[in-house]
């Protein structure tokens, strides 16, 4: 069975921006439900297909591997899924509904949306992809900013889309995650910079505290 971050019994935890096999294994051992792997070559957390391919047989197959993309070609994305390198694609760029519809039901897609106002909430509502990730709007940086957005907008999205899985991202950390979950009640949460050390790699203590704060 293919793992699914938003179908766990509790709020799922995705640790995004995995940059090394050690980080990946460590996060899995600490209880992560999914790993986010960034294939956008302008990201400071970018890793190549060749590198990730060497990780696959060393990772727990029950933990979902989600590739993060910004305006990548459809062919390159499905190649990574078909070859078993990732389970799902998270689209973070300017991909429109016609692009998203290419994936059909065979491929799992998450559409990330930068939130800053009511209009961006309306835009998220109109997306054809079922699972939506709400992140802080940060222009052309496309996520990973470490900044939060007003969670009231996430609540508005949820009230308009009560049946849709919602992944909450944007500046989450061990200090605010409990409040965020209580206010928004998302299907899953996504964290990157909030569990990183100064070198940009995952801090096991922060990862452990974050996951425990989510799962109890």
What is the sign of the dihedral through the CA atoms of 140, 144, 150 and 154?
A: positive
Has 71 been annotated as catalytic?
no
23, 33, 135, 190: the catalytic one is 135
Tokens 């935890």 label which residue?
A: 13
The residues with which 131 forms a beta bridge, in sequence order, are 110
Is 10 in a helix, a strand, or coil? Answer: coil
- Runs of H (alpha helix) within 30-150: 49-55, 74-82, 97-101, 118-125
- What DSSP character marks residue 7? G
16, 27, 33, 190: the catalytic one is 16
Tokens 């994305």 label which residue?
A: 77
Q: How many Cα atoms occupy the beta-carbon half-sphere of 190 within 13 Å?
A: 31
Has 182 been annotated as catalytic?
no
What positions carry a catalytic annotation?
Answer: 16, 135
């Amino acid at each position: 069975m293919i793992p699914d971050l938003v179908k766990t019994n509790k709020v799922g935890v995705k640790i995004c921006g995995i940059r090394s096999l050690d980080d990946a294994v460590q996060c899995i051992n600490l209880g992560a439900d999914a790993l986010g792997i960034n294939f956008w070559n302008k990201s400071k957390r970018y890793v190549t297909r060749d590198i990730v391919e060497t990780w696959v047989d060393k990772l727990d197959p029950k933990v979902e591997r989600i590739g993060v993309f910004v305006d990548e070609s459809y062919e390159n994305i499905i190649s990574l899924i078909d070859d078993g390198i990732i389970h799902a694609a998270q689209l973070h760029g300017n991909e429109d509904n016609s692009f998203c519809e290419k994936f059909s039901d065979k491929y799992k897609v998450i559409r990330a949306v930068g939130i800053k106002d009511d209009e961006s909430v309306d835009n998220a509502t109109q997306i054809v992809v079922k699972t939506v990730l709400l992140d802080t709007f940060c222009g052309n940086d496309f996520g990973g900013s470490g900044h939060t957005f007003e969670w009231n907008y996430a609540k508005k999205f949820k009230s308009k889309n009560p049946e849709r899985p919602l992944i909450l991202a944007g500046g989450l950390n061990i200090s605010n995650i409990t409040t965020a979950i209580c206010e928004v009640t998302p299907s899953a949460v996504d964290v990157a910079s909030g569990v990183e050390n100064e070198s940009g790699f995952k801090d096991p203590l922060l990862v452990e505290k974050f996951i425990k704060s989510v799962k109890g």
